[in-house]
Amino acid sequence: MPRRRSHNFLHARPFPGLGRAQRRRRSVVALLFFGAGLAALLAVAVGYVGAVTATALAHANTGRKAVESAIASVKVLDVESALVQVRSADTEFSAADAALNRVALLERVPWVGERVIAARKLLDAGRATAGAAEETLLSVRDIAVVFRETQVSAASAPDLFREPAQIFRGLDAEGRRRVLAGLSADAGHLAPAAERADGAIAALDRLAADPIAAGFASSITEARGRLVMMRDVLRAAAPFAGSLPQLLGYPTAKRYLLFFENNTELRPTGGFLGTYALLTVRDAAVTDVETKDVYALDGPNEQTDRPVPPDPIRRYLGLNKWYLRDANWSPDFSVAAPLMARFFREEAAVALGPNEAPVIDGVVAVTPELAAAVMRVVGPVTVDGTTFDAHNLTDALEYQVEKAFADKGVPFTSRKDILASLVDEVARRISALSAADMGGLMAAVQQALDERHLLIWSEDPDVQRLVAERNWAGAFRPVRGDYLSVVDANLASLKTDAVMVRSMEYSFKPETDRTFVGTVRLKYANTGHFDWKTTRYRTYTRVYLPAGTTFLGVTGAMQDDKLKDPARRPGTADVANELGRRVFGAFISVEPGETRTLEFRFRLAPAVADAIRAGQYVLDVDKQAGTVANGLTLDLDFGKKLTAATPPENRAEFGDSRYRLTTDLRVDRSFLVSD
């Protein structure tokens, strides 16, 4: 059979009819002509690309100069001019982008495309920076106008991105009011501005990683640093910018009921409500502070009808009336605070007269942890011969109001006047803080919010919603799977919480193929002794778990303390539903030098067991307000091999059916385990 001739060009014989030598010579000539043509075409392409990229880079350079002019305008607080210049920069960058689009097809050509890609990266970084700058300028536009139009000069006005905490520096009442109005108007721009800044930072990072940027690395570093600063301030301010003006007394003054919750006498929302203050805040300034002993209200109400208190207060404090000092019985501050406000109004109407009870707009609670942090910023303060600082604040103040007042001949009803003097002096010093110190104070406040040493509740539903969204309300988190919170209430054991060491362990294991048995084990160590300040520890402890949890038993509960029940007979647990959760409660007393354990056993809620079987287990553990980093140990046996967990166990624990981890409850914690 004759051989079939291929029609593939690659296999065809070049120049048919010629000899081999002739064909070779003609192939070489053709190749030379082809190469020359390709070289000519490449030269034209390179020239065209060079011209186009030069045009693009010229536009980009003009845009860069416009951005620099905008920065100069910002430095003199001329935001309107800066906006014009930034928009001009964006126009130039758009023109550069249009030029580059004409040679986009050549980006894949070796060497030629490298110039196009290099120009594109420069352009992307410039456009991202201009966009972030415009959004940021819009976010501070109204505030900057205030500084330009008031007596504050551009030179003395604060840099809103380097020292945001100094935003009210140098302003009179009208100036502060206008800043708050501007902040309210600009609030919606802050979050988008932070997002745009993030995009610009990413573009600069991509550019910095490319060898083409070697010649201007310092400029990239400077621009990136400025963007990061802007982004961080915007991101921090965005969550509360909308609510901050109202909280700070704009457009109308606010009066807050402030409680100093003493966490050395722990109560459900942080501590005993021994002292309160009325604060009037108008246009970001505290215009009035009045500090009082809570017994100034509770005392005159002893002969009036009061609500019946929760059963543990009746049993272990022997009280048949519910007073303001015990109003924070719910561990959820968003539930307790309205009751605290109500009791304040009721008791003030009796103690001061029905028409003299102050109107309040919200309730704020702070613990000594925040007070000590503030003292670290403002420095030692001497009042009536006693020097208070961050280290001795709680002990020294406790001594003054419990012991020293009698030695000084101060009446019992005036024993807390020293606290009022201390508060006045601290407030005066805060108003005079430097930019750096004000930043430290703001950091302390944020930490106190995160660790539940500062709790806020507002009578205004809209403000309260915003407070809750920021997690400033001291509220329990929604139950989204498994859940645990342990809450202690010091009932007549003086300030013994100062010497108590607590830890908790949560464990569970399979009971059947569909159920799990859990245990919460609480250890209390009393490291104190009997004196005017500390004694045997008496606490009513509640454990909050998901709805549907079945109580199985309690160990370590007591009927009463050793003094009232020398036999120390075992007690029982109360079982109830509260705050959408199952709650078990029991009393325990711990002598000085003694360590005791309280243990609750239960069957996990069916919904939690279902999540375990589905391989998607979530546990949220909420800390009790006022506590400081109590120990937490988890030992959870899922009955099947685990594959992932957040946070992870120690590597040595990987690969079995148990999730074991030791941490603390300085803040609320969350855990996710899957198989």
The phi and psi torsions of 186 (rounded to 5 degrees) equal: -90, -5
pLDDT grade, residue 197 (50/70/90)?
A: confident
What CATH number is associated with residue 601? 2.60.40
Q: Provide the pLDDT confidence category of residue 284 given band limits of 50, 70 and 90.
A: confident
Comparing CA positions, the residue from 167, 155, 90, 162 lying closest to residue 128 is: 90
Checking if the pLDDT of 205 tops 80, the result is no
Q: Are residues 439 and 503 in the same domain?
A: no
User: What's the confidence (pLDDT) of residue 289?
Assistant: 83
Lowest mean pLDDT among 453-462, 465-474, 522-531: 465-474
Q: What does pTM read for this prediction?
A: 0.74
Domain range enclosing 77: 28-242
Residue ending a domain, among 444, 469, 494, is 469
Q: What pLDDT does 102 receive?
A: 66
Radius of gyration (C-alpha) of the chain in whole angstroms: 35
Is residue 107 in some structural domain? yes
Q: Is residue 19 part of a domain?
A: no
Do residues 231 and 108 both lie within one domain?
A: yes
**Any domain includes 5:** no
Mean pLDDT of the chain: 81
- Is 3 inside any structural domain? no
One-letter amino acid at 614 equals A
Extract the tokens encoding 458: 């507002």
**What are the CA-CA distances from residue 551 to residues 71, 543, 557, 604, 610 (Å)?**
65, 11, 14, 9, 18
User: Are 214 and 292 found together in one domain?
Assistant: no
Structural domain count of the chain:
3
What count of Cα atoms within 13 Å lies in the side-chain half-sphere of residue 36? Answer: 6
> 11 lies in a domain?
no
| DSSP at 530 | S
Choose between 408 and 523: higher pLDDT.
Answer: 523
The tens digit of pLDDT for each residue in 399-428 reads 988 888 888 888 888 888 888 888 888 888
* Residue 229, token pair as written in the block: 């600063």
Name which of 559, 563, 488 is nearest 523 in CA terms.
Answer: 488
Q: Which residue has the higher pLDDT, 508 or 186?
A: 508
CATH of the domain at 365: 3.40.630
Distance CA 436, CA 416 (A): 32
Give pLDDT tens digits for 648-657. 998 888 889 9
Rounded Cα–Cα distance for residues 329 and 488 (Å)? 10
Q: Which two tokens stand for residue 669?
A: 């914690």
Residues 225 and 299 occupy one common structural domain: no
Please report, to the nearest 10 degrees, the dihedral formed by the alpha carbons of residues 647, 650, 656, 657 taken in order. -40
Q: Give the pLDDT score at 590.
A: 98
Q: Report the C-alpha gap between 253 and 25 in whole angstroms.
A: 98
pLDDT at 483 over 60: yes
Q: What percent of the chain has pLDDT over 90?
A: 48
Residue 9: both structure tokens together:
């060009």
Same domain, 495 and 559: yes
- Among the candidates 416, 448, 469, a domain finishes at 469
What is the rounded average pLDDT of the residues 479-503?
A: 97
Q: Phi first, then psi: what are they for 595, rounded to 5°?
A: -125, 130
Q: Once rounded to an integer, what is the mean pLDDT over residues 461-470? A: 84
SS3 per-residue string spanning 246-259: HHCCCCCCEEEEEE
Q: Are residues 232 and 265 in the same domain?
A: no
Residue 131: pLDDT band by 50, 70, 90 thresholds?
Answer: low
- Signed CA dihedral, 325, 329, 334, 335: sign only: negative
pLDDT at 543: 98
User: How far is residue 52 CA from its own chain's centroid?
Assistant: 49
Domain boundary among 427, 442, 469: 469
Q: Taking a C-beta distance cutoff of 8 angstroms, is the pair 153, 146 a contact?
A: no
pLDDT of residue 38: 44
Paired strand residues for 664? 631
Is the four-CA dihedral 566, 569, 570, 572 of positive or negative sign? negative
Same domain as 228, residue 297? no
Do 266 and 393 have their domain in common? Answer: yes
Main-chain dihedrals φ then ψ at residue 534, nearest 5 degrees: -125, 155
Q: What is the DSSP letter of 638?
A: -
Instruction: Answer whether residue 9 is part of any domain.
Output: no
* Higher local confidence (pLDDT), 27 or 617: 617
Same domain, 425 and 534: no
Phi-psi region at 469: left, alpha or beta (left = phi > 0; alpha = psi -120 to 50) = alpha
Q: Are residues 221 and 74 in the same domain?
A: yes
Query: End-to-end distance of the chain based on CA atoms, in angstroms?
Result: 67
For the segment 138-176, what is each residue's pLDDT rounded down to a tens digit? 656 655 665 555 544 444 444 544 444 455 555 667 767
Backbone angles phi, psi at 452, to 5 degrees: 60, 40
Query: Would you place residue 430 in the very low, low, confident or very high pLDDT band (cuts 50, 70, 90)?
Result: confident
Does residue 332 surpass a pLDDT of 80?
Answer: yes
- Whether 580 maps to a domain, the answer reads yes
Q: Is residue 327 part of a domain?
A: yes
Query: Does 492 share its domain with 531?
Result: yes
**Cα 500 to Cα 142: distance, rounded to the nearest angstrom:** 51
Q: Are residues 300 and 168 in the same domain?
A: no
